[in-house]
Chain A
């Protein structure tokens, strides 16, 4: 008898847990929290950037956050949207499996639930696997490369005939944990030397030595001093990393002078090893697009008497090399606000333009936000499924009601 009581008690605890996880109150709580987080995030992104706010509110790296309003922190911790979404996903999944009655009358509900599950799954895929960057092109110029908003890398390049022939990349993951007092030796595979990185700053600026008051510990490198700055908490994409680099032989012996690297530079530093010319630079990570984008014309219009944008549009030519015939296939496209170009898994949004501080400018450049998101169409498909499910459900309810009324009247 005591054994069966124990079993019953265990079952009831398990059932109770499942009941909570798959329960309606948890679903309501999650929905309310997601609504609240979206609202607070929308308010916060007025002062901070969209990128920084999205990172703060929907990030798997933090469990909770403190909202900010008018540059003041609200001392109420809220769970991070990523985790609320994850809990809501399992709540919806279990609720659909365990709670929704499995009959043909509930088919609409089941369809709409699966649409919402797909929406949450798309959000998860976007958060974890999507890639974002920007591509700036001058009118008449062509580009095939996007630049990451925040991630920095160090690139060591081989040269041939006066130009870059091969690029070796020290990835962001090997740099993010470095502090100014740390040093790290990077053993470069395929190169006859290694690279020692010292004095790494997430945000720093090089100054000519004569333009600053030198302080103890300042190292003047070729007339410039690297000064660390506080990372920009609001707009991390403004951070420009910097460090000192030393070239080391494969035996570990440091050779050559210290090289100052800064993401604020236009050109890389050049050095020689065994009579071969190499370059080294630190920059925002680049990723190659498998086709070229040529900016033919950029047009912008404002609402009369204001700086509120009415039309921003870029007329571009997409140039794709046909792998079989090696011919270039050119397609003219228009990218404008809310009308991105989607091609081969990449989405190009009209993001910015310039020069914005020169009203007399006649030549412009356009900036596209380039997004590679495996779940790009997920939200659209999810909304169609959810809408269809609700449509089926309401139509069935209506038909059943009419049938019932006819039956009563008969």
Chain B
């Protein structure tokens, strides 16, 4: 076999080298260690994902009932879910300003109901949510969510509301009356599972 011309030899060799370079190893042995440092002393073992990636950020942990759909949270809706066969109802957890009484009456006002007194608010039925007994508000009728949107007829509300130090926390299910009635037990189960995460 005649010898290859020099440039061709170079090209063949180069292509071999390039092929070798581009092949990524599937396995690598690791024997490198480093000394422990002062940074290692600050490490927290068994940290949750939230503690690892979003330390200090308030968040909720909960169980999503069967048939419910988790939706993207927003600044106003810390937890955001859709319910119903066509997901026409919604459940969301919010933190808002104002007193318990003001917020209960705001909800009632959305259904055209008259405000109630602080004493009547204190007598509202209680359900377990966020590890405490919180007030439950139920209403039905024409729902005017506000913000200029027209009222929606035959709607219903099942909401749980409780005071925090600086405002109130609300868990609200709102949707067509039939959907709210159908999902009420699952909503209460969702409230029981809801906790503030670590």
Interface residues of A (CB under 8 A from B): 142-145, 155, 157, 159, 162-171, 174, 177-178, 182-190, 206, 208-213, 221-224, 260, 262, 264-270, 277, 279, 286-288, 292
For the complex, count residues of B whose C-beta is within 8 A of A.
Answer: 38
A209 touches B70 (CB 8 A): yes
B52 touches A164 (CB 8 A): no
Which residues from chain B contact A145 at a C-beta distance below 8 Å?
Answer: 37-39
Nearest residue, chain A, Cβ from B45: A270
Give 6 nearest A-B pairs by CB, closest first: A267-B47, A145-B37, A164-B40, A189-B31, A222-B49, A265-B52
Confirm or deny: B53 has a beta carbon within 8 angstroms of a beta carbon on chain A.
yes
Confirm or deny: B25 has a beta carbon within 8 angstroms of a beta carbon on chain A.
yes
Which residues from chain A contact B59 at a C-beta distance below 8 Å?
Answer: 208
B27 touches A208 (CB 8 A): no
A267 touches B44 (CB 8 A): yes
B30 touches A164 (CB 8 A): no
In the assembled complex, the CB of A252 is this many whole angstroms from the nearest CB of chain B, namely 9
- Give the CA-CA distance A143 to B42 in the complex, in Å: 11
A168 touches B24 (CB 8 A): no
Confirm or deny: B149 has a beta carbon within 8 angstroms of a beta carbon on chain A.
no
Confirm or deny: B86 has a beta carbon within 8 angstroms of a beta carbon on chain A.
no
Which residues from chain B contact A178 at a C-beta distance below 8 Å?
Answer: 24
A163 touches B40 (CB 8 A): yes
B30 touches A169 (CB 8 A): yes
- Which residues of B from 8 to 51 have beta carbons under 8 Å from A? 24-41, 43-51
A288 and B49 contact, Cβ closer than 8 Å, known pairs A177-B24, A267-B44: no
- Give the CA-CA distance A292 to B30 in the complex, in Å: 29
A266 touches B51 (CB 8 A): yes
Confirm or deny: B154 has a beta carbon within 8 angstroms of a beta carbon on chain A.
no
Partner of B79, one of A155, A174, A210, A292: A210
Known: A171-B30, A186-B29. 13 other contacts (CB 8 A): A142-B38, A143-B39, A145-B38, A163-B40, A170-B30, A174-B28, A187-B30, A208-B59, A208-B73, A264-B53, A265-B53, A286-B34, A288-B35
Which residues from chain A contact B25 at a C-beta distance below 8 Å?
Answer: 184
Which residues from chain B contact A288 at a C-beta distance below 8 Å?
Answer: 34-35, 37
A171 and B49 contact, Cβ closer than 8 Å, known pairs A145-B39, A184-B24, A267-B43: no
